[in-house]
Amino acid sequence: MTSWVVIRMQELQEETIQFRRSLEELSTGCCTREGVLVIDNDISQSELINDTVLFYNSSYDDGEAPVMKSNNSTNGISSDEEMNILDGPGTLYTRWGRKTCPLSAELVYDGVMGGAYYSHTGGGANYQCLTLNPKWDEPMSGYEDYSGKMYGTEFETIHFNPLSHLQDYEAVCAVCLVNSRSRVLMIPGTNECPSEEWTREYYGYLMTQRYELERTEFICVDRNAEARYASEDNDQGALLHPVEGICGSLPCGPYIDGYELTCVVCTI
């Protein structure tokens, strides 16, 4: 995870905690101290809820003081949307197969998928979302035997109709930040979230490397996957194949022997 993203998430968490403490003090009308708005003890709970209340603390000297707005707001935004700042510091996920994020998320960066060569027995087993703006720190030119190797990742989907047009193309990815939700879940075997309380960020197909090759992880690749432009040369590297269910130790039903598995990424 990018260091500045971690730092910003920690800052948001601290600001949220300070805000909630101020909210508790205001709801009881108990406290008077510098930097906190004083509420008279006789104020009713309904008055506190219905009025627009602005909290100011010296720690918010950059103009980012959180605001709790009332239902009387006339700016056309619902109260739930205005209160998103209370929901937590946010969460990150990788959208495999796309270089953009859904409207519900903010793009941190987009890149290309990387991984170990499909026949190598060593190296990393997980896919990586590699930035397109690499920075170096005292690199050594040439190849070194005592090192790991990073390759691009190609689609191997010629026999899978939904993604057959991407055969041999290099896969892309995007890292997305959701500010208003704090938990992310990838569910294999379905393209729907558990309930209406969850937000579906994207859905698609469960993919990994072919079962006879070296092992990689299972990831959720977007149903409308795209690839890097003009990258259809068969250069090999890490590979992406669809995943089929095999009956036996896997219960059938509900699963069907030989069917490609779907997947979904949800936040709450």
**Domain ends where: 87, 117, 137?**
87
Q: What is the DSSP letter of 212?
A: T
Instruction: Indicate whether 213 and 98 sit together in one domain.
Output: yes
Largest CA distance in the chain: 76
Instruction: Indicate whether 134 and 50 sit together in one domain.
Output: no
Instruction: Indicate whether 136 and 250 sit together in one domain.
Output: yes
Q: Measured between alpha carbons, how far apart are the two ends of the chain, in Å? A: 20
Instruction: Indicate whether 169 and 248 sit together in one domain.
Output: yes
Instruction: Indicate whether 50 and 96 sit together in one domain.
Output: no
The rounded distance, in Å, linking the Cα atoms of 195 and 171 is 30
**Tally of structural domains, the chain:** 2
Q: Hey, how many other C-beta atoms are within 10 angstroms of the C-beta on 180?
A: 18
The rounded distance, in Å, linking the Cα atoms of 195 and 193 is 6
Checking phi first, is residue 76 left (phi over 0); if not, alpha (psi -120 to 50) or beta?
Answer: left
The rounded distance, in Å, linking the Cα atoms of 138 and 151 is 21
The rounded distance, in Å, linking the Cα atoms of 46 and 165 is 59
Q: What is the pLDDT along the chain (268 residues), one digit of tens a residue?
A: 444 555 566 666 666 666 666 666 555 554 444 444 343 444 444 443 333 333 333 333 333 333 333 333 333 434 444 444 334 579 999 999 999 999 989 999 999 999 998 988 888 899 999 999 999 999 988 888 888 999 999 999 999 999 999 999 999 999 999 999 999 999 999 999 999 999 999 999 999 999 888 889 999 999 999 999 877 888 889 999 999 999 999 999 899 999 999 999 999 9
Instruction: Indicate whether 263 and 151 sit together in one domain.
Output: yes
**Domain ends where: 65, 87, 109?**
87
> Which range marks the domain in which residue 79 is found?
3-87
For the full predicted model, state whether its pTM sits above 0.85. no
